[in-house]
Amino acid sequence: MSKAAKIALGVLALLLIALPWLLGPYQLQIAILTVTYSMLGLAFAFSLRVGLPRLDIAGWWGVGAYATALLMQRADMSFWFAMLVAGIIAVILGWLIFIIALPRGMIVFLLFGMVLAMAFYQLFGSLEFFGGWGGTGIVPQPTIGSFTFANKPELYYLGLFFLAVNLLVYYLLYNSKIGRAWNAIGSSLKLASSVGVNVVRYRMANVLIGNFFIAIAGSYYVAYSLVAVPSAFGFNFSVYILIYAVIGGFLHSLAGPVLGAAIVTYASEYLRVVQEYEPIVTAGTVILIIIFMPMGILGLIDQRVKPWLARRKLYALFSGGGK
């Protein structure tokens, strides 16, 4: 990474930390939503790496949220412990279900995921155990000692922390041995398995790790929403999550979903001014982005900006020499 890049990233980090002083509570809430949606988008990109697009993310997000909420309400667990247990539940449950679907290939996995997402939604709403369609009712806020995460800035920093951990873990994994195996599987299944890579085992690991972080996003959701309702975890939203990854840039597994989530979330909230036309405008805009920037915004930068800079021999200035 070039020096200029490091500086810029540093400035970015500072800006993100300073956000609560720059934005009002309403905008900060949008930032909180963005953080959550980023984590979900990251999970999509994460499993896409092994050639598994997944349409069940909202369902697992709900599992994390409901588990956290119910454990805090009924088992009197602290937020942190409940979050951990929720993550474990998502992993174990995921394992039990995916062990059926994964070995049968990407399409079966995808279809299973769709059906699973629909089933989760139905279960969360219909079963009294989860509180019915009205949801779980109010859940206590996270606390550390006597400090409660009650206000927006605190909740925002909490989310930023989770997002940072999420990014770090994914980054380390992508650059590890397991990450290389994943890349191999993602690029060519046949080749990977012919070299002796146990495709199913690596994919399972990937999907389960994804589940864990999706559940964390669910716990965070409960921390600021204070209630889990089925309507938040419907299948439709699962599909929406794809949008974050695509707009940001399909191939940029870390930065893409975050950027995509930010853009879509802020755009749709700021478009409140057009009131009832907002969904139309947002959807239309995203369609245009998908058509004209199929590789996402970051992809566009890769394709256009870099060669432009290279042609003007400015590339070297920015790339820190031969990277």
| φ, ψ for residue 295, nearest 5 deg | -90, 10
Q: Which of 125, 159, 218, 257 binds other proteins (CB under 8 A)?
A: 125
Task: Tell me how far, at minimum, the Cβ of 134 lies from other proteins, in Å.
Answer: 4
Cα torsion angle, 104, 240, 212, 94, sign = negative
Q: Per rule CB under 8 A, is residue 153 in the interface with other proteins?
A: no
Nearer to other proteins, 71 or 102 (CB): 102
Part of the chain binding other proteins (CB under 8 A), chosen from 18-26, 85-93, 153-161, 200-208? 18-26
Q: Per rule CB under 8 A, is residue 138 in the interface with other proteins?
A: yes
Part of the chain binding other proteins (CB under 8 A), chosen from 82-90, 114-122, 173-181, 205-213? 114-122
Question: Is residue 260 within 8 Å of residue 34, measured between CB atoms?
Answer: no
Scan residues 278-297 and list those touching other proteins (CB under 8 A). Answer: 278-280, 283-284, 286-287, 290-291, 294-295, 297
Task: Tell me how far, at minimum, the Cβ of 183 lies from other proteins, in Å.
Answer: 15
Q: How far is residue 304 from each of residues 150, 246, 308, measured CA to CA in Å?
A: 44, 17, 6
Cα torsion angle, 39, 45, 51, 57, sign = positive
Q: Per rule CB under 8 A, is residue 262 in the interface with other proteins?
A: yes
Number of residues that bind other proteins (CB under 8 A): 92
CA atoms of 17 and 14, how far apart (whole Å):
5
Residue 165 tokens read as 């951990």
Task: Tell me how far, at minimum, the Cβ of 13 lies from other proteins, in Å.
Answer: 9
Q: Per rule CB under 8 A, is residue 307 in the interface with other proteins?
A: no
Q: Cα(first)–Cα(last) distance of the chain, in Å? A: 8
CA atoms of 100 and 93, how far apart (whole Å):
12
